[in-house]
Structure 1
Amino acid sequence: MAGSKKKIKAQILLLCAFLAVFLICNLIFKGKLLTPDNMKTIVSHAIFPIFTAWGMSFIFTTGIIDLSIGANILLSANIGAYCAETLKMGYIGLFLGTIVTSVIIEHLCVRCSQTLRIPAWISGIGAALIVEAILSQWATVLTGMGGKLPILKNYKMFGRMPAMAVLMLAGLAAAYFLFEKTKVGINLHAIGGNSSVAEVMGINTKRTIFISTMIGGIFIGLAALVQISFSGKLLSTSGLGSLNTIFKALATVLLAESIQNIVPTPIGIVFSGIAITGMFNILTLFGVPSGTWQQFTLGIVVVICGILSHLKEKEVVK
């Protein structure tokens, strides 16, 4: 009990530390950091990693570390844009293209890991390389035909405020309800705590993992929708370059896990996503280049968040 209280105090101090950093930096920048316009910019940039992190939370909690999520987002977003623009399906095609593609890829990756009995991170790396190759080949074929990867021009509502904020609030309500109030969510917590004990309790782990993967895939599909709506286009990559797409979301998940004793994970993800995005906004205001040095900082943030999220754990996290 004493250890639990000590951990909660540490997590409260962490929240206070983030708040203090923002307030101090706001004074340094003479109030420019916390202006309504700048906060709107921070929140709009945070929505993509927040949706991605919600998807990760449903998948990672089962013990499955899927590293193909970044590649999944790139392919799903391009298929959604293709359905919306090229096939003239509008917003229906955008939603169906991103979400259905994302769910299928997540299902295949997780099923591969479970069926072949190999670690999820291995199947995730393999799936990432395969999905990247599919997108690159598609881009090559389109280029040979005188075209290029689709650009979302006419259906970008969910990449702009206030539609982005409305979608995020709807996502928060859904994530909180599914993760905290449903049987699937309760079983998910049990499996995350100890899968062997969960099975003894009569929980069908395979079914729970299947459902949670589907839910995670939907949130990842929505993340792809937000990102392609925000950016207009997402280019193909190779050699696991897609991993860069999910680093902020990964840091968001890890930070949310570090404060889960005082804030439910879905809500903690919103706070963490805004906090981490705000940190990079601070770096920009300090004049730190958006390339190498911000990526260097992101790497440090991921490591620190990983340490905080697994503080006091007796075993090494695999």
Structure 2
Amino acid sequence: MENQPYSNSEKIKKVLENINHVIIGKKEVITLSLVALLARGHVLLEDVPGVGKTILVRALAKSLDCTFKRIQFTPDLLPSDVTGVSIFHPKKLEFEFRNGPIFGNIILADEINRTSPKTQSALLEGMEERSVTVDGTTMTLNHPFFVMATQNPIEYDGTYVLPEAQLDRFLFKLKMGYPEFMEEMMLLNGTSGEEKLQSLSPVLTKEELLTIQEDIKTVYIAENVKRYIITLATATRQHDHIALGVSPRGSIALMEATKAYAYISGRDYVLPDDVKYLAPYVFAHRIRLTAESNYEGITNEEVISTIIESSEIPIRKEAF
């Protein structure tokens, strides 16, 4: 296949430029967040407070002309605070449902591990099923629908750790990290992110975004590239340091992510290098290490990197 960028590639570049104008020095996280959205996935962002997570999500929503909703997860948050509630009107003698924040397009689920598993499930059901059940009635969520959840890696008091089955709902697990010295200097000398955010204009409409999501389904991925994905997933199920490997859902997630990444890169085909690059972000949070590995201080990311480096990459010319 010829490398012919899609007609929307310029608009995608403008979306990235829009967000990079607000967030300094986090191009990789911004690009991966857009990849997740286009692949119909969700992102778990684990990092310390004050590094720009909220502004990133708001800038993404504004650039795409999508409704932005924020849910601050606290120990006393109820499932109805997420999904919505039915209110009885005495004059009409009937119940009227009022939508919760989950009915937005782009949702910031802030500190998701601060609330109870029951409330977490209300959000996670919507992430997986694209619908929620309230009072026995199933309601379809808006399209597009994208969740970026955050959790603080250092403040574990009063938190509820997300189990593996819930972590599996997230396409990527990302970290923003602290800015570099000169990047932080630019933050101090420049206009605040909040002020820059106000100047942003939409670059894509919701309709165009949905069209791109459909176009991504047509991106070509060769059989041996699919085998490469399965090889990596299988290796996680047989590795000595891993007690629970990547499920088939994880393999599918990686394939969908690579197709979206290829599209953003202006290609209508997936390269083996796309798989190698994205695999750590898709697989690391989907495995559980053995007790011995945890005791030795081995991390999920280190194990996945070892698997990738020891696995044979398909010859590029055979990938098309």
User: If the TM-score is normalised by the length of the shorter chain, which range does it land in?
Assistant: under 0.3
Higher relative contact order, chain-length normalized (CA < 8 Å, sep 6+): 1
Q: Which has the higher helix share?
A: 1
TM-score (norm 2): 0.26
Q: TM-score, normalised by structure 1?
A: 0.26
Structure with higher strand content: 2
